[in-house]
Amino acid sequence: MKIVFMGTPQAAVASLERIIKDGHEIVAVYTQPDRPAGRGNKLAAPPIKEFAAKLDLPIFQPTKIKTPDALELFKSHAADVAVVVAYGRILPKSFLEAFPKGAINVHFSLLPKYRGAAPVNWAIVNGETKTGVTTMQMDEGLDTGAILLQREAAIDKDETAIELMEKLAVLGADLLSETLAMINELTAQTQNDDEATLAPIMHKEDGRIDWSKPATEISNQIRGFQPFPTSYAKYQDKKLTVWRAAPVIIENLTAGRGAIIEAKGDKLFVACGNQTVLQIEELQSEGKKRMPTRDFLNGVKFRTGEKLD
């Protein structure tokens, strides 16, 4: 088939690579414009652009898509179908209907659960033990299109959003391959809106740790809010980012929420809500490198009873 591929982050690369290996013809690759990144704010190309450029695929990075000119260009590719994997924009109806087989989306959740921009992150934050990937026939709604195929995947207890996304990217590529191979045989199933949940865009303030929550919830937040917005507290007016942590059991806990119970060697225990305790295993002080607790405590001396804001 002739395909227009639309995607932006690293998570979309596996799908583009797979459909090329399957022998489909990529007539155009759409991705977001280059953005400033890093400390120097230099323009950086999206991962999809970098991958497509290596294969000399035609690349398009429109700043606006809801214009007559943009639609005319899109239709001119004369594709059979558009494939959308984390493109980063809501497509207008005219784009979704531009090609005979419409637009197929790879979404990283078991729809209708976790519709929205960050399904992998919120699944972990909310303590889910399984998630998956869905291919759907796109409509004008926010991930409301009819389901074509789905595959489940377990969420490991220590898995971060970064690690889970890498796993789902491969699973999504496989599911997309199967969907395209069976496209004329599949019957799309309407989603049950009553079972829908949302996975909204994350904001920096979402990452602030609330020590009144149970340690398990905080641990899930730490795993889920990676690479953005991360999970952080304040210590001596400086940001303290927590990268890895796990709940532990300590009997007869009397310390207040956010209080440091022990800080020695590999042990950095912080009191949380519901008489629970979090062991911080990897952290990062503002302006410093992330490091294991033992290395961190060699340079920062916490006192028992001190509180993390």
3-state secondary structure the chain: CEEEEEECCHHHHHHHHHHHHCCCEEEEEECCCCEEECCCCEEECCHHHHHHHHCCCCEECCCCCCCHHHHHHHHHCCCCEEEEECCCCCCCHHHHCCCCCCEEEEECCCCCCCECCCHHHHHHHCCCCEEEEEEEECCCCCCCCEEEEEEEEECCCCCCHHHHHHHHHHHHHHHHHHHHHCCCCCCCECCCHHHCCECCCCCHHHHECCCCCCHHHHHHHHHHCCCCCCEEEEECCEEEEEEEEEEECCCCCCCCCCEEEEEECCEEEEEEHHHEEEEEEEEEECCCCCEEHHHHHHHCCCCCCCECC
Q: How many CB atoms lie within 10 A of CB 214?
A: 16
The answer to whether residue 263 scores a pLDDT higher than 90 is: yes
Lowest mean pLDDT among 27-36, 151-160, 253-262: 253-262
Counted residue by residue, the chain has a size of 309
- Is 38 a residue whose pLDDT tops 80? no
Q: Of 37, 283, 21, which is closest to residue 8 (Cα–Cα)?
A: 37
Query: What average pLDDT does this structure show over 271-298?
Result: 94
Q: Which residues contact 44 (CB under 8 A, 6 or more apart)?
A: 34, 35, 36, 37, 38
% pLDDT > 90, the chain: 90
Band of pLDDT at residue 249, cut at 50, 70 and 90: confident
The CATH code belonging to domain 204-299 is: 3.10.25.10
Angstrom distance (rounded) from CA 37 to CA 34 = 9
pLDDT confidence band for 40 (50 / 70 / 90): confident
Return the closest-CA partner of residue 164 out of 197, 118, 196.
Answer: 118
Residue 191, pLDDT above cutoff 80: yes
What is the per-residue pLDDT for 117? 94
SS (H, E, C) 106-156: EECCCCCCCECCCHHHHHHHCCCCEEEEEEEECCCCCCCCEEEEEEEEECC
How far apart CA 241 and CA 208 sit, in angstroms, is 9
The lowest-confidence range among 26-40, 160-174, 282-296 is 26-40
| pLDDT over threshold 80, residue 248 | yes
pTM (two decimals)? 0.94
Q: Which two tokens stand for residue 80?
A: 């059979």
Give the model's pLDDT for residue 236. 87
Give the pLDDT mean for 185-197: 97
252-285 b/e (C-beta count within 10 Å ≥ 16 → b)? ebebebbbbbebeeeebbbbbeebbbbbbbbbbb
Do 262 and 225 contact (CB within 8 A), yes or no?
no
Give the confidence band of 250 by pLDDT, cuts at 50, 70, 90: confident
CATH 3.40.50.170 assigned to domain 2-195? The reply is yes
Enumerate the domain spans of the chain: 2-195, 204-299
pLDDT at 240: 96
Rounded-to-integer distance, Cα 4 and Cα 21, Å: 15
Mean pLDDT of the chain: 95
pLDDT band at 37 (very low <50, low <70, confident <90, very high): confident
Cis check: omega of the bond before 33, within 30 degrees of 0: no
pLDDT tens digit sequence for 56-68:
999 999 999 999 9
